[in-house]
Structure 1
């Protein structure tokens, strides 16, 4: 435990040395299906109201019943380390073992399902609003993965409206987000300096827009109506499949095969960037664990090897990846598709728990590592997207960024 204490101390000090933004760490291959549960928001991005419990769940597929420990850290609005001491934002202790776990039952893939809920006996409360990172370590002090979450207090009203792009060049491809922040309980001091906002499209922190300043102030109302700065690419509706019955083809699944575990072969997809937009209801990149004839999907849903394929010519300068919230929109070696010259398709596979999944194909530039989400699926102003707006406030002389408001809107009500 002494080595663990030194390791944690170094990890806490290191960000201050680097003075950079913290990034989430993707898990190793044997940890799957990381998900949060929240009463406030839908999807895998946890935005919690102060006092609301935090529930984190994940599966370990190595069947070792390992011990895992959690550490919680507080950050500024821009994900740089805050100066708060742990006792200021946490009542109780972290760096504690996750006590609740259950082994899978009647599945081909053996796994252990872990569940952490805060508050608990050791970690009794989160005291401050703002940005947080929860990191999971194994018994050998190795960081397994980390995930961001946010805690807010409802102190301001956040109005969110989605508009077509005001830039004529991108009017058919982009969506712009207008915001209005109003309150009767706070007198904003110098809002150009003390107010910060973050706009998140479809729960994807990787593409969020932050640092926008209010353009107009009307009394205690702050108004944001930008032309380019608050515009997102519209994208396209996500593709989807459901394999709640691992033994039979289902929505999006062409056929199945049983080897060591079940294999689900999806229908081959095609590029959509040059095709007319077609509305197709989705869950904006998220996923839901489902399994028929199972009373507890946490431990009774099985894992299947899901095979993806994309009919597209071989690209010399770009890699193609499967993209979605099943892994927090991470680009990693497991999500990469490889070109099969015999079939003329990009092909790949992922081990996923039974459920309903949204996904799409994206292109990553080999030279610049620049991600193009619309390269394969296109960008359309009509696409239904979800937008969340977070409002941070650091009063003059304050030591951290309070998260004082949260607003949400869908582009299903988009207007000119």
Structure 2
């Protein structure tokens, strides 16, 4: 059975009504162009987001330790945090000189009130004044106790030779005593930092002295997908990359270059950032509070609507979830799906996802899937020896598809 790029369906109506006005959520290291929230223990992550109601609410953050499969762990907060697991987000700044008003919030972790002491999976929740969850984000803190080598190649299965990629890897553990790898070691293979595209429950194929080898063929196959589409709204008043029209109304309206569906399209290399986005403006000095919001208009041309399926705009800007606000509507007279929603100025990757009546999301149906696509794969190694109370993340490795391999 092949691993398919079909993920369980969540119409992400948002975790509460309050989150409908929350935009531009990012949880990233401070380093520029680093989009991953999988970092070594002790590295600073910054959470930031905007509230379009612009009324300076009192938000709090809460941090919870999780298992490798995101269940509640056995640890108490005092066992993995020095300080408090729940605190107020005090850094709030109002937007300046923008048509769309908003309040920008940010907090860095660790900070003087919250120091995380153990590696592992963590769920970061933001709570409103009534302590209701507004949104959540995942992050992983790891120790460099192992060396993880990752290679990515074209699928070896003739049925998916042109559409899938195979991930293989090894784990060197010279300083860790592993008596029963099947019980003590868990691995997760993640595609493009998207927790909806992962493979788990893998066992080593070979055991060597101080090394575990995972040389599966079909079990670690991912759909290659395609390079993401993109646009750049760094100029709010004029056209920019893939933006063909700008109108000023209650806010600026940007019309993105239409995408035409072609079921017979061939792969074409187009550098992307694997679905991520960067907030930026070239018309002000401080993007966090001076970048404006624009109503982005998306259009997908196709002769007939996708039978018994809905179409959504999809990317990291929605945490790789399909959201009701990003749903597109088919206009039969124009033979085009259309949709629009607010996004802060910046460079964005996006694609289109279809959702069938069973609630299955398919991110390949519109844009295609090819073995040549440049994807980043991350392997996380979790270690829980017999008698331990929690899973440590003892190693992380990354690999990229290379057509020459």
- TM-score normalised by L of structure 1: 0.91
Displacement after TM superposition at 1:206 (Å):
0.5
The CA deviation at 1:54 is 2.2
Task: Select the residue among 201, 209, 213 that pairs with 1:223.
Answer: 213
Any unmatched runs of 5+ in structure 1?
A: 1-22
Q: Distance in 1 between matches of 2:60 and 2:246?
A: 37
Match of 2:318 among 299, 319, 327: 327
Contact 2:173/2:211 (8 A) holds in 1: yes
2:256 matches 1:266: yes
Q: Residues 188 and 414 of structure 1: is their aligned pair in 2 closer, same or farther, counting only changes over 3 Å? A: farther
**1:40, 1:105 → 2: CA distance?**
25
CA deviation after TM superposition for structure 1 residue 414, in Å: 5.8
| Correspondence for 1:37 | 28
Q: CA deviation at 1:340?
A: 0.9
Distance 2:364 2:404 in 1: 20
Measure, in 1, the Cα distance between the counterparts of 2:362 and 2:25.
25
Q: What is the rounded CA distance, in whole Å, between the counterparts of 2:245 and 2:402 in structure 1? A: 34
Higher RCO (Cα < 8 Å, 6 or more apart)? 2
C-alpha contact (below 8 Å) 2:171/2:213 kept by paired residues: yes
2:3 corresponds in structure 1 to none
**Are positions 1:397 and 2:387 aligned together?**
yes
Alignment of 1:271-282 (within 5 A): 271-282=261-272
Contact kept, 8 Å, 1:165 with 1:231, in 2: the verdict is yes
1:332-355 deviations in whole A, cap 9, x for unaligned? 101110101221100001200000
Q: 1:327 to 1:293 in 2, by over 3 A?
A: same
Query: In 2, are the aligned partners of 1:163 and 1:414 still within 8 Å (CA)?
Result: no
**Which residue is equivalent to 1:180?**
170
Distance 1:88 1:148, change over 3 A: same
Which residue of the partner structure matches residue 141 of structure 2? 151
CA distance in 1, matches of 2:382, 2:268: 37
State which drifts further: 44-53 or 55-64.
44-53
CA distance in 1, matches of 2:324, 2:15: 11
Q: How many Å separate the matches in 2 of 1:211 and 1:85? A: 26
Distance in 2 separating the partners of 1:405 and 1:412: 23
Equivalent-residue separation in structure 2 for 1:43 and 1:330 (angstroms): 21
Q: Which moved more, 1:267-276 or 1:50-59?
A: 267-276
Q: Please state how far the C-alpha of 1:140 moved relative to its aligned partner.
A: 1.6
TM-aligned CA distance change 1:41 to 1:317, over 3 Å: farther
Q: 2: distance between equivalents of 1:272 and 1:193?
A: 47
Contact 1:79 1:131 in 2 (8 A): yes
Of residues 193, 196, 205 in structure 2, which corresponds to 1:206? 196
Measure, in 2, the Cα distance between the counterparts of 1:48 and 1:287. 19
> What does residue range 346-365 of structure 1 map to in structure 2 within 5 Å?
346-365=337-356
Match of 2:6 in 1: none
For residue 120 of structure 1, what is the aligned residue in structure 2? 111
For residues 31 and 46 of structure 1, the distance between their equivalents in structure 2, rounded to whole angstroms, comes to 20
3-state SS, counterpart of residue 383 of structure 1: coil
**Hey, which of these two has a bigger chunk of helix by percent?**
1
Secondary structure at the residue paired with 1:102?
strand
How many residues align structurally?
A: 391
Q: Distance in 1 between matches of 2:168 and 2:111?
A: 39
Give the C-alpha shift of residue 97 in structure 1: 1.0
Closer/same/farther in 2, CA of residues 257 and 63 from structure 1, 3 Å limit: same
For 1:76 and 1:39, locate their aligned partners in 2 and report how far apart those are by CA, in whole Å.
26
Give the Cα–Cα distance (whole angstroms) in 2 for the partners of residues 152 and 305 of structure 1: 39
Aligned partners of 2:241 and 2:32: how far apart in 1? 26
Cα drift, residue 295 of structure 1 = 1.1
Contact 1:291 1:297 in 2 (8 A): yes
The equivalent of 1:93 in structure 2 is: 84
- SS of equivalent residue, structure 1 residue 192: helix
Q: Which residue of 2 aligns with 1:11?
A: none
In structure 2, list runs of 5 or more residues that go unmatched: 1-10
- The 5 Å alignment of 1:271-310 reads 271-310=261-300
Q: Among residues 346, 350, 372, which one is paired with 2:362 in the alignment?
A: 372
- Tell me how far apart the structure 1 counterparts of residues 15 and 32 of structure 2 sit (CA, whole Å): 22
